[in-house]
Structure 1
Amino acid sequence: MARTASALHILVKDKELADDIIAKLKKGAQFDVLAKKHSTCPSGKKGDMVSAFDKICFSGELFTPHLVKTKFGWHVVKVLYRT
């Protein structure tokens, strides 16, 4: 059986903004509001994930914002569930 995961993410170009977003999330900011304001990711499609993103989705703590660097930029990732 294939493993699956569901995650939210916000893609930004620089680490400072990603760190600021994580700080706001820890203070109770809404993930979707920050994503609409800051994310530069055009995709909303399901599909293959880059390795670093995949790793956090299948090993990172659930419901906790994680910082992940990929070739696309800095991702703030919140894993919702995995099977």
Structure 2
Amino acid sequence: MANTAAALHILVKHKEQAEDIIQQLIKGVKFQTLAKKYSKCPSAKKGGDLGEFKKGSMVPAFDKVCFSAPILTPQMVKTKFGWHVIKVLYRC
């Protein structure tokens, strides 16, 4: 079982915006481009790159997606911070 993961994410306030971002990703728009344009997280400056982090270091709903969702497939999850579009790069 993986203890660390690396992911990109985009944080927005509304579910509809997160859904729209996923549609743009499906059409081929680069994750980093959308993160810089829409994300409310400081990681937006780095294209949404959160780097590598340990299991349990993120809020529970976010952590669950990062350690269970398919790798490289954009996922959407709501936390106390808003709506996240997450792309897990790898787990180890």
Q: Percent identity?
A: 65
Given the superposition, is the C-alpha separation of residues 25 and 60 from structure 1 closer, same or farther in structure 2, using an over 3 Å criterion? same
Counterpart check, 1:60 vs 2:53: no
Using the TM superposition, give the Cα deviation of residue 42 of structure 1 relative to its aligned residue in structure 2, in angstroms.
Answer: 2.1
Residues of 2 paired with 1:62 and 1:42: CA distance?
A: 23
Residues of 2 paired with 1:9 and 1:57: CA distance?
A: 10
Q: TM-score, normalised by structure 1?
A: 0.92
Q: TM-score, normalised by structure 2?
A: 0.83
Residues of 1 paired with 2:50 and 2:87: CA distance?
A: 16
Cα-to-partner distance string for 1:2-45 (whole Å, 9 max, x where unaligned): 70000000000000100000000011000000000000012576
Aligned length: 83
Residues of 2 paired with 1:59 and 1:45: CA distance?
A: 17
1:75 corresponds to which letter in structure 2?
Answer: H
